[in-house]
Amino acid sequence: MLTVLLASDDSGTRLGTDRAFRRSGYHVSHVTNFHLAAKGADLYDIDAIVVGLDQQLKREAFIRGVRLRDPHTPIVAVMESPVAWQAGRLRAMGAQSVLIRPFPVTDLLAEVNKLVEAQLPGRN
């Protein structure tokens, strides 16, 4: 079973996204304290990370902290604002994909599946 780490500070987003991933066969781990997650979360069994934190600085700090410890696990950042420079910064810090809300949850699932499938051949 594949595992996705969902880092979000919005309970409604967490609940809906959690349900969609579980229905698709994923195990879901949750993080609400992004400082602890970026510094101490066990990323060994995580196949993908979805970052839906509400502030750009939180998203950047989380991605930067994860990348210091794990340069390979796919990260999808979700953001509200379609500001190109913010998406570019998230990609530069290590997010493989940036999705702008609103979007159907099926788009998020498809993006995570695509990134995980690309990772699996080299993963043991």
> What CATH number is given to the structural domain containing 114?
3.40.50.2300
Where in the sequence is the domain holding 24, given as residue range(s)? Answer: 3-122
H-state helical runs in 1-124: 11-23, 34-40, 56-69, 84-93, 105-119
> Domain total for the chain?
1
pLDDT reading at 49 higher than 80: yes
Give the global pTM: 0.86
Residues 61-111: tens digit of each pLDDT: 889 888 888 888 999 999 887 778 888 999 999 999 999 988 899 999 999
The lowest-confidence range among 22-36, 86-100, 105-119 is: 22-36
Backbone angles phi, psi at 76, to 5 degrees: -115, 120
pLDDT reading at 32 higher than 60: yes
